[in-house]
Amino acid sequence: WMGETRTWLRSWVPVAAGVVLLLAVFMSGLSEGFGQFIDRYLHDSGIGIPGIVEPPAGSADNPQARVKLYTTSVEIGVDHFPLGAGLGRFGSWMSREHYSPLYYEYELDGVRGLAPAREATPTRRALVAAPSATDTFWPAILGEMGVIGLIAYVGFMASLGLMLWREARERDDAVLHTFRLAAGMIFAQALLESTASSMFYSPPRVYLFYLVVGIVASLAWRRRAPAPA
């Protein structure tokens, strides 16, 4: 009986410890998501703002926020060549929470999703300032870090993609080969998603993304490391 108990503990204690660790890492993101669910489906009775009529998104009077982020980031990249406007100034969480003056300067304060927060009404709490400011990733890189930052980040992602491509061609082990192929597909999906979300600085999913990429990089390093004498 004692032997079976020890075997059971050896098998499941690491699993339990891993679950506790994952809960500790992702608890903030999970609790925030649950809070948003409660706020959206239980507290709010509607989507619109009482007394305010806005033209449909995508019309000439109300261009889509994501399109404006891309086009304006190019303008900022030119005006603030080559280092950009600085961190926390455009397209990032900080620029959204502490409303950036650049949104006024480039006339984005009238775009739905990029406007500053309105005052609370009796039936609805105050809105978050510029909730769509983090609706994509690359405009923040170009706007805040300029052409040099954009080139550096693209080079970094290209190096990761090249490493994953090379590793996916290794067939030393069937399980590892499958894992490397999956990592490459995750990388491709993340790149595609980054064009329409703040993928690479959005916890907890960015943690999982770099965890997978890091495991493949570690496997590549161990395979190429010289054998001990």
Give the chain as a 3 state SS string: CHHHHHHHHHHHHHHHHHHHHHHHHHHHHHHHHHHHHHHHHHHCCCCCCCCCCCCCCCECCECCHHHHHHHHHHHHHHHCCCCCCCCCCCCCHHHHHCCCHHHHHCCCCCCCCCCCCCCCECCECCCCCCCCCCCCCHHHHHHHHHHHHHHHHHHHHHHHHHHHHHHHCCCCCHHHHHHHHHHHHHHHHHHHHHCCCCHHHCCCHHHHHHHHHHHHHHHHHHHHCCCCC
Q: What is the pTM of this model?
A: 0.70
Residue 15: both structure tokens together = 């699993």
Question: Which pLDDT belongs to residue 57?
Answer: 46
Question: Which pLDDT belongs to residue 120?
Answer: 47
Q: How far is CA 200 from the centre of its chain?
A: 4
Question: Which pLDDT belongs to residue 21?
Answer: 74
Say how many Å lie between the first and final Cα of the chain, rounded. 44
Tens digits of pLDDT across the chain (229 residues): 566 777 777 777 777 887 777 677 666 665 665 565 555 555 444 444 444 444 444 444 445 888 899 999 999 999 999 999 999 999 998 898 888 999 999 999 888 888 887 654 555 445 567 888 888 899 999 999 999 999 999 999 999 999 999 998 887 778 888 889 999 999 999 999 998 888 898 877 888 899 899 989 988 888 777 766 5
Residue-wise pLDDT for 176-206, tens only, equals 888 899 999 999 999 999 988 888 988 778 8
Residue-wise pLDDT for 157-182, tens only, equals 999 999 999 998 887 778 888 889 99
* Alpha carbon distance 136, 198 (integer Å): 5
Q: Cα separations (Å) of 59 from 62, 63, 96, 98, 182?
A: 5, 6, 23, 27, 40
* Alpha carbon distance 30, 32 (integer Å): 5
Asked if the peptide bond before residue 204 counts as cis, ω within 30 degrees of 0, the response is yes
Per-position b or e across 75-106, b if 16+ CB within 10 A of its CB? ebbeebeeebbeeebbbbebbbeebbebbeeb
Q: Is residue 147 a contact partner of residue 77, using CB atoms and an 8 Å limit?
A: yes
Q: Is residue 216 a contact partner of residue 183, using CB atoms and an 8 Å limit?
A: yes
> Which residue, chain included where needed, has tokens 């993304």?
209
